[in-house]
Structure 1
Amino acid sequence: MKKIFKIAGSIILILIISIAAFLYFTSKPLPVGQEGTKAEALTDKIQTAINQKAWDTTTVVSFTFRGNHHYLWDKKRNLVQVKWDDKKVLYNNKTLEGVAYENDKKLNNSQKTDAIKKANDYFNNDSFWLIAPFKLRDAGTTRSIVMQDNQEALIVTYASGGSTPGDSYVWLVDENYMPKAWRMWVSIIPIGGLETSWEDWKTFPNNLKIATSHKGLLDLKLENVKTAQSIEEINNGQDPFTDL
């Protein structure tokens, strides 16, 4: 028995050392960029390519993230509906006030608070994979330009906002300034510089461009993406937020 424990301990130690070595040799430091007019000019070109103005005037978005998180988002009213498993949460993503259901039964007190918090954490993460290119100039961001793979790239750092402030992303763009990938330096991933693609760009009303697929360490898909100017347009003529 002692021999078995000794072998198991050795295997665990080898795994720990291997993981530590992988992280050490794979992780890269965040490159140092230069803020100023060049960075802002590159930001302008990216925003033109994806049609930032169309996004800013879009009122409602719906989408499914990785097949099991379903969202209906009224940007104008700051209202979000999140469905997953047997849960449904409708809330204001500025005040975090709302209602929550489990198996269509209304939750109260701490259960409701916990459900709204989880829904908001899901929303902050999942929606970022949909709309990050439209958040290059959010309040609390800084932008700088850096050379990556012999071309100019844009570093965007978030000093505040979302569930994980302080994260940085290096955007790589194609010849038309459409984002094709980013490299991440984020608190929830121990490997600095991990790259994930932005692809399968779809065109929505007013020539709005949204990427619906990401490939990297994990492959992520955004399905059932719709945009509109009212909830009723993409929700069978119903407004689910009347109870709020």
Structure 2
Amino acid sequence: MKKFLKITAVIILILVVSLVGFLYFSSKPLPEGEKGIEAEALTDKIQDAINQKAWDSTAAVAFTFRGNHHYLWDKKHNLVQVEWDDTKVIYNNQTLEGLAYKNDKKLTDTDKTDAIKKANDYFNNDSFWLIAPFKLRDAGTARSIVMQDNQEALMITYASGGSTPGDSYVWLVDENYVPKAWRMWVSIIPVGGLETSWEDWKTFQNNLKIATNHKGLIDLKLENVKAGQSIEEINDGINPFTEL
């Protein structure tokens, strides 16, 4: 038994070292971009392709991330419902005030505060995989043109806001300027230029387009995606935020 455990430990160590080595040699330097008219023109084309105006006017969104984080988002009023496992949180994502339940029992004090913080962390991470293409001109962003695979690409660098200052994303687009992938240079990932796809684009009202699948080192899927002009419209007539 001890011999088997030693062999297993050696195999795991080899796999870990191999993965670290692969990631290290796969890392790419951050490309140098050129700001200006061309970068803004490419941004315009991407926003037109996915219909930025329709997104801006969308009032409510629902989606499930990786099968176990379920969201209702009253985008117009900054209200979010997050459900996972036996927990449900309803809160304002600007003030972080709200309600939290575990096994349908209302939480109070520190437990409620912790649950709201956890829900907001989930929401900030998971929603970015849905809304990132609509944040190209957020406050604190810089846009520049870079060359990737002999094609112009758009690099977005976050100087402030929800992402870590200095984080950069290079958007690769198809012939219609719909994003097909991005390459990431972000502080939480030690590998520069890691690529993840943006695919399975679904079309919603007013020709709004949302990607529902991402393939890369880890595959991420968004399911049950809905968009509308009210929570009731996308949630069978029910508005959970009346509790707040």
- The answer, yes or no, to whether TM exceeds 0.5 is yes
Corresponding position of 1:242: 242
* Per-residue Cα deviation, 1:143-200 (whole angstroms, up to 9, x for no partner): 1100101110000011222264432100000111000000011222221111111111
Unaligned runs of 5+ in 1: none
Conserved in 2, the CA contact under 8 Å of 1:121 and 1:163? no
SS of residue in 1 equivalent to 2:117 = helix
Q: Which residue of 2 aligns with 1:89?
A: 89
Tell me the secondary structure at the aligned position of residue 236 of structure 1.
coil
Aligned to 1:138: 138
2: CA distance, partners of 1:178 / 1:73 = 24
Closer, same or farther in 2 for the Cα pair 1:226/1:97, shift >3 Å? same
- Residue 17 of structure 1 and its aligned partner are, at CA, apart by 4.5
1:208, CA displacement in angstroms?
A: 0.4
Q: How has the CA–CA distance of structure 1 residues 15 and 222 changed in structure 2, closer, same or farther, with 3 Å as cutoff?
A: closer
Query: Offset of 1:87 from its aligned partner?
Result: 0.6
- 1:41-79 Cα deviation digits (max 9, x unpaired): 000000000000000000000001111100000111000
Name the residue aligned to 1:169.
169
Runs of 4+ in 1 over 3 A off after TM superposition: 2-20, 163-166
Q: Report the secondary structure of 2:177's partner residue.
A: coil
The answer to whether the 8 A contact 1:82-1:119 is kept is yes
1:23 is matched by which residue type in structure 2?
L
Aligned length: 244
Distance 1:6 1:218 in 2: 29
Partner of 1:192: 192
Determine whether 1:210 maps to 2:210.
yes
Measured in 2, the distance between the counterparts of 1:241 and 1:155 equals 37
Q: Note the 1:29-44 alignment, pairs <5 A.
A: 29-44=29-44
Aligned position for 2:63: 63
- With normalisation by structure 1, the TM-score equals 0.93
Q: Percent identity?
A: 81
CA 1:147–1:159: 2 relative to 1, 3 Å: same
Q: CA, structure 1 residues 84+164, in 2 after alignment: closer, same or farther (shift >3 Å)?
A: farther
Question: What root-mean-square deviation, in Å, do the aligned CA atoms of Structure 1 and Structure 2 show?
Answer: 2.1
Q: Look up the match of 2:49.
A: 49
AA partner of residue 192 (structure 2): G
Equivalent-residue separation in structure 2 for 1:3 and 1:66 (angstroms)? 38
Q: Give 1:98's aligned residue.
A: 98
- Structure 2 gaps, min length 5: none
Mapped partners of 2:97, 2:22: distance in 1: 43
- Report deviation, 1:11: 6.5
Q: Give the C-alpha shift of residue 19 in structure 1.
A: 4.1
